[in-house]
Structure 1
Amino acid sequence: MNNDKIVITGMGAVTPIGIGVDAYWNALVEGRTGVAEITSFDTTDLPVKIAAMVKDFNAADYMDRKLAREMEPFMQYGFVSADEALRDAGIDTLAEEPVIAPERIGIVFGTVFAGITDVSETQEGITSGEHPKTNPRFITKIIGNIGAAQIAIAKGLHGPSFTVSTACSSGLDTISMGAMLLKEDLADAVICVGGEAATCPLTILGLSGTHALSQRNDDPATASRPFDADRNGFVMGEGGGAIILEKESVAKKRQAHIHAELIGYANSTDGFHVTSPHPDGIGAIFCMKHSLETAGLKPEDIDYINAHGTSTPKGDVIEVKAIKTLFGEHAYKLAVSSTKGATGHLMGAGGVTETIACVKAVEEDILPPTLNQITADPECDLDFVPNKSRKSVVNTAMCNAFGFGGQNASLIVRKYVN
């Protein structure tokens, strides 16, 4: 077991509110939303007509056109995020003498739906007779692990590679798995990536069937309203996020800028229901508790929680209940916000982009807000940083992600002190 601290040296983001970490963070702090009417396909016969889509993104602006054609958007978003994160970390994997050996850099890629949009469009083309044959790249564009493979091929990497699909906790689980690779000395650095682009008629109909999505089509900007009394479901989002984890000794040796320290991480399962969280939040409590234990912290050491907070009637209440149970009186002293009010639910990318929000909160001592806090819910009575960001000392932040199947993930980042 390696006892090196685990540090974050690079970050990258492609989101509905901005491309690049700076654009994403500035939009969060300024309280901008990425939710709008869907224009990329016909929604006439669909119950949901809104989503948080990435805007003004042309993959060929960030990579070779041939490579862009070989990737589905979920891969493109992950790839561009990873590229930004590597540049931020100062790691040129293709240098004649790379600062970290290619076989010592791992990749963990998280996605929920992988290439489902291409599957949906291809099936539609075959059924209608418009496109009776599949694209030769069809299979390699739709399977999840190719997202990691494309990064490895482009960057000349030979370290361990895994693809994670644990529903909405996929993004956080990529970071936890990356930390485990470092702790087991199987890598010196790990690129932890999430990528998702799943908004299509098939997923809208499927998720609407579970009553998970907001149908506030007449007011997209306020449709995602975590912890608000009038919330009625989440808004689908898309995007990518990447974080570079490194052993502290490796980062210091190459004089890298260190954004923050990753000190705790955990995963748990409700063992209760495929779509509904446990009514007492047992799995979420176990997960947050274990994350605190791995960090060696007490509940009162946490300053800020970036909540899963998807804007569903049941899920938000249960997360609040779990926080109150574990944190006791301190639950009313710490800040809790959900950035999904701005970005919608980025699925497999969300855990990574929301961890980036935690890192920026720790670096800049700014709490990102929960947008669309309009009507108070008596069952959701914590400090949700309503509608406006604010300055506050944030030494330690927790990030939560809870998903279908009772998947739970939680991690903790802390201000880095040399």
Structure 2
Amino acid sequence: MGRRVVITGIGVLAPGGVGVKDFWSLLSEGRTATRGITFFDPSQFRSRVAAEIDFSPEAHGLTPQEIRRMDRAAQFVTVTTREALADSGLEAADLDPCRTGVTIGSAVGATMSLDQEYNVVSDGGRLDPVDHTYAVPHLYNHFVPSSFAAEVAWAVGAEGPTTVVSTGCTSGLDAVGHAVDLIREGSVDVMIAGATDAPISPITVACFDAIKATTSRNDDPEHASRPFDGTRNGFVLGEGSAVFVLEEREAALRRGAHVYAEIAGYASRCNAFHMTGLRPDGREMAEAIRMALHESRLAPEDIDYINAHGSGTKQNDRHETAAFKRSLGEHARRVPVSSIKSMVGHSLGAIGSIEIAASALAIENDLVPPTANLHTPDPECDLDYVPLTAREWRTDTVLTVGSGFGGFQSAMVLTTADRG
């Protein structure tokens, strides 16, 4: 099989779950972290709920200069990088700089800082042209998402390939998939890979309001995210970050590292169809799944759990259900499927990496997280979506998938590290 790639460190910041332990506790208990928006006055918007993180950069050890320099999403990814590195048992001094790389996914970059700075330089929208002299000195870093990868590279001393992957809502999957390819081809031995997004700002909420993609269930935020439920009416915007230390398997085992999972296969496809629309037959996602399985040298029957994209829009949930049936055949009806977006919302580019973390922890704990708030199944979504309560389940192999605006469809297969 050539060079194999494993996860030896995980860092997570998610709504209701700051750190890996709290994140897994939230998922395994089926608790939700969605609430009314508190970051700004949302009264003018159609959708006024979100999955926010109670995050203090000072409490996580960021210096005043780092806080001033970094957008919230950059702060997230710096903190999760530090957690992942500590979890792996490695220190920056242990890494060969030229054999260590970074890939970070993000869909919307430094949205919060750009929104805030426009408000300042335009004096609340009153100035045209704006007065640039009021801008923060690090405004350029907010314009270029590559600054996220640079921050991570500086944090660990990585001098190998360093990049940002931005493919919308599949960014978190695609960034990790790219990192796996770099290790497999021999360009690096260690990758710091993951994703981050902090999009809960007026401009993002307004954009999703315009296309009615987000839920209008403002009177019940805790139960507003309802993937695969017949009463769902859109997704809940979230934020967060997850970062992994990825290593070549044999090197990780030689140093006695704890291995969460092996990333056995990955593939991505595009439907070349519509900016936001999806074909109902799920053909492109099904093809990504088939190719990820082929790369893994596994059959559909080997999948023990599917971590679904499960955004909670009718279009996505039905498209995804069709894709599972198309790619896995009858096994699709036997394998448990769930969406953690029911609990932590949809953090756009970050969610793919957060879902990889959930998949690795499902393997670690032989436990399938539930789909919260699933009380009224949609007849068109007729698979086993693990409603309401986590399920103890032998979980050696997990399929996790993502679907994004622009037609991006990605799939990844994770397995136990002791697979032959």
Which category describes the TM-score, using the shorter chain as reference length?
over 0.9
Q: Are the counterparts in 1 of residues 31 and 343 from structure 2 also a CA contact under 8 Å?
A: yes
2:115 maps to which residue?
A: 120
User: In the alignment, what sits opposite 1:83?
Assistant: 82
The aligned residue for residue 282 of structure 1 is: 283
Q: Is the 8 A contact 2:34 2:344 kept in 1?
A: yes
Query: Over residues 138-191 of structure 1, what are the superposed CA-to-partner deviations in whole Å (9 max), with x where a residue is unaligned?
Result: 111342111110111122221110100000000000110001100111110101
Deviation at 1:126, TM superposition (A): 2.3
Structure 2 match to 1:198: 199
Which whole-Å CA distance do the structure 1 matches of 2:148 and 2:339 have between them?
27
2:328 aligned partner: 327
The corresponding residue for 2:40 is 41
Q: CA deviation at 1:7?
A: 0.9
Distance in 2 between the 1:387 and 1:249 partners?
39
Instruction: Determine the C-alpha separation between the residues in 1 that align with 2:269 and 2:315.
Output: 19
Pairing of 1:214-229 with structure 2 (within 5 A): 214-229=215-230
Aligned to 2:307: 306
Query: In angstroms, what is the RMSD of aligned CA positions?
Result: 1.4
Closer, same or farther in 2 for the Cα pair 1:63/1:126, shift >3 Å?
closer
Classify the secondary structure of the residue corresponding to 2:384: coil
Contact 1:70–1:141 (CA under 8 A) maintained in structure 2:
no
Give the corresponding residue for 2:60. 61
Deviations 1:169-222 (A, max 9, x none): 000001100011001111101011211001111111111111211010000011
- Equivalent position amino acid for 1:24 in 2: F
The residue aligned with 1:184 is 185
Please name the residue that 1:105 is paired with.
Answer: 100
- The equivalent residue for 1:51 is 50
CA displacement 1:283-325 (0-9 Å, x = unmatched) = 1011111011100111111010000010001110110011111
Structure 2 counterparts to residues 342-357 of structure 1, below 5 A: 342-357=343-358
- Aligned residue in 1 for 2:385: 384
Q: Does 1:26 align with 2:25?
A: yes
- On the 8 A contact 2:362/2:368 being kept in 1, the answer is yes
Structure 1 stretches of 4+ with a deviation exceeding 3 A read 129-132
Contact 1:81–1:193 (CA<8 Å) still a contact in 2?
A: no
Q: Is the 8 A contact 2:57 2:75 kept in 1?
A: no
| Partner AA of 2:190 in structure 1 | A
- The equivalent of 2:69 in structure 1 is 70
Task: Answer yes or no: is the 8 Å Cα contact 1:60–1:68 preserved in 2.
Answer: no
Cα distance in structure 2, aligned partners of 1:15 and 1:62: 18
Q: Return the alpha-carbon distance in structure 2 between the equivalents of residues 242 and 269 of structure 1.
A: 25
C-alpha separation between the residues in 2 aligned to 1:159 and 1:357?
28
Give the 3-state SS of the residue equivalent to 1:114 in structure 2. coil
Paired with 1:103 and 1:84, the residues of 2 have a C-alpha distance of 22
Could you give the per-residue CA deviations for residues 319-370 of structure 1, whole angstroms, max 9, x where no partner exists?
0011111111111110000000000001111111111111111111000000
Tell whether the 8 Å contact from 2:280 to 2:322 is kept in structure 1 after alignment. no
Answer yes or no: is 1:292 the counterpart of 2:287.
Answer: no
Aligned to 2:139: 138
Q: Which amino acid aligns with 1:229?
A: G
2: distance between equivalents of 1:171 and 1:179? 13
Q: How many residue pairs end up in the alignment?
A: 413
**TM-score scaled to structure 1, two decimals?**
0.96
Query: Which string of whole-angstrom CA distances, capped at 9 and with x for unpartnered residues, describes residues 95-130 of structure 1?
Result: 3xx2x3111111001001101222222222222269
Partner of 1:12: 11
Deviation at 1:60, TM superposition (A): 5.1
Residue range with higher mean Cα deviation, 315-324 or 153-162: 153-162
Q: C-alpha distance in 2, partners of 1:30/1:105?
A: 36
C-alpha displacement of 1:65? 2.1
Tell me the SS of whatever aligns to 1:87: helix
Identical pairs, percent: 37
In structure 1, how many angstroms separate the alpha carbons of the residues matched to 2:321 and 2:328?
Answer: 10
2:397 is aligned with 1:402: no
Q: TM-score, normalised by structure 2?
A: 0.96
Higher mean Cα deviation, 192-201 or 117-126? 117-126
Check conservation: 1:59, 1:76, Cα contact below 8 A.
no
* C-alpha spacing 1:59/1:173, structure 2 compared with 1 (3 Å): farther
One-letter code aligned to 2:345 = G
Return the letter of the residue paired with 1:324. K
Structure 2, gaps ≥5 residues long: none
Instruction: Give the letter for the 1:352 counterpart.
Output: S
Query: Match of 2:41, SS?
Result: coil
| AA in 1 matched with 2:311 | T
State how far apart, in whole Å, the 1-side matches of 2:318 and 2:90 are: 42
* Partner Cα distance (1:17, 1:384) in 2: 22
Inter-partner Cα distance in structure 2 for 1:369 and 1:333? 16
